[in-house]
Structure 1
Amino acid sequence: MKAARLVSEIVILGARSRPITASDLAQRLEVTERTIYRDLGELSRMGVPVITEAGPGGGISLLGDWVSPVAGLTRDELDSLLIGSPAAADLGFSSALATARAKVLAESSSAFSQLILVDGPDWFMAKEDPEQLDTIVTALRTQRGLQVTYRGRNDLRSRTLLPLGLVVKAGRWYLAAQPPGGSPRTYRVSRIGSAELRFLDCTPPPSFDLADYWTGAQAEFDASIRRILVRLRLPVAQIDDLKRAIPGRLTEDAIDSGRTDRDTIEIDLPMEPAGVAVSQLVTVPGVEVLSPKQLRRDLHDHAWAAAELNE
């Protein structure tokens, strides 16, 4: 689990008098170097003074004489610190997080973390309050299964699940879980109507990594809804506007492989159906739809209608 790995990294770094390379640390923990660097970012945000030095003799180490307070943390304090705010508050760890942060800050000469506030939900988005979050947390901490009712788009079904991890994104909670005999899937926690603990004869996938799973799940979802291939031409100066209007890895990849000619770039971009595509493209200055022709006409008609209304 990620929390246990972060603790291991703190312990390993704290016990060494010399830096350790990311490769060596990844090998010891049986993860990728990419995971190690992602973890270092997490540790820094928690207030752990991690430093990296390039070149011969360089590597990863802890700054100065900082002493890890891990041994002095209770289980709830440690979990709350590794989870972080604001997710810890949703899980009922507000008090534990405050105590844990005080213990960590007592060992650090830096108060920089107190100048940073992480606000989870996006602008203008209402924060969810999923009813079954406590039960799901209990299942994860006790390694038990769940019997849930889940509200899909058209029905309410009973499902048996082995919880694998929780993700909070923009104030919304998602459960990664495995049905017995199936593959891991993602469930929105606010759609779980009821949840009961169960003992299951089911084992999680080998070497399951929640962060890697979530990255893949987002990419798969993005690809599943962006089924129309659109050829666009736009000024290079408006690339950031395109990224803002149509965010995601597919957009980044399309831009990376685009064809640049002086001040313009031409790309092949997977997009959602025409109605959504028009609403996104109309916000990008200087964009031109080269194909398909129907989308080009739809964008023209939309812009023309808006122009007539605002003469």
Structure 2
Amino acid sequence: MQVERLFEIVFILLHKEKVTAKWLAEKFEVSTRTIYRDLDTLSSAGIPIYTNKGNGGGISILEGFKLEKTFLSEAEQNDILFGLQCLEATGYTERSQALNKLGQLFRREDYNWLQVDFTPWGDQGNVENNFNVLRHSIIHRQVVTFEYYSGMGEKTKRCIWPYRLVFKGKAWYVEGYCLLRKAIRLFKLTRIRQIEQREEGFQIEVLEEKRKEVKEQPETKPEGNLISIRLWVSKTLAYRIYDEFEVEQVKLLEDGNFQVDLDYIEYPEDDWLYHYLLSFGKEIEVKSPESVRIKLKENIQAILQFYNEAGALQK
């Protein structure tokens, strides 16, 4: 937060003739002592800041000073703007404002060359709300409670010390210390409901120690026996092949169809696996192992039986 405040102070000084430490302290909701420390930091970085005491005094910056010539190289400017563009994609509106201000501050007109969007297609209002609550709780080190639904549909009440937000595998997670499990866990934001930021806080030093002591066990990892699978996939699903599998896992056959070999590390043998395979419809065939072929057919037969019985009841 200090870095963002420093940039904001420089931006204000470049656009105002003079301000007071008290005015800056009230704007950023910090003490005047903190503002003076920020000014010392900026001066040490080569920013020509002047302070005049007494009636009509205040804080000012050398007229004609240009930030990009003495503070940051062009490459460093690009890195900062790129980072803010990535943060803007999370929906953090303050970062969008900072991005516009820094673009002006650096006298840059090309800072919108990239758009990063982490949000999936469809309505994800619940995820956005969860993200914003967790972001605020992480920054202010406040406890969070919520209802959490596991991959098997089990609902539990959780209370965590949130540490950081993680984007992995096309989804957002929050990493934190779970008071229920007494362990560091990852929680998928789409499975979080009734989130609430509590008034009580926690010490980041204690959380850091727990992260060192407790082995991370992702809350969303499917359980089951890990196996290797070989699939035949129709060429009509080529778009899914290259979206969902690594190039090294895919072999193009002479007839244009595909052979896919899945690493056992990523594909546990449980209901999640069979639901995933069924999503390919008739355009996929399990070649091995035989146990998966048999269980997949059992799932198909169960679905067929369900629809036959439902149809009979409707008659």
Normalised-by-shorter TM-score class: 0.3 to 0.5
Higher radius of gyration, 1 or 2: 2
The TM-score with structure 2 as length reference comes to: 0.47
